[in-house]
Amino acid sequence: MDRSETILQHAFQLYHSSFTHAFELTQQMRQQGITDMDRRFQIVLSNLRTGEVQKEDWEFLQTHVLA
């Protein structure tokens, strides 16, 4: 297992143990943004929805975590 896979595995374990509540979103809200960050967020959300999360998605989300 290479270093990036190890990091992702630890991140998964951290997120899995941190999120103890699930929410069902019942109203569809479209992203309206036009900036590069808005477009990247749209891609990340799409990948999360389909279960095809990439390393770049995880890195993008890490830039928006409150410490």
Q: What is the CB-side half-sphere exposure of residue 7 using CA atoms within 13 A?
A: 9
Q: For the segment 2-53, what is each residue's pLDDT rounded down to a tens digit?
A: 777 888 888 888 877 877 777 777 876 765 667 888 889 889 989 888 888 8
pLDDT at 60: 92
pLDDT of residue 32: 65
Residue 40 makes CB contacts below 8 A (sequence gap 6+) with 60
Residue 63 DSSP label: T
- Assigned token pair, 31: 């992203």
The reported pLDDT for the residue numbered 31 is 59
Indicate the pTM of the whole model: 0.50
Q: Is the pLDDT of residue 1 over 70?
A: no
Say how far apart CA 39 and CA 24 lie, in whole Å. 23
pLDDT at 48: 87
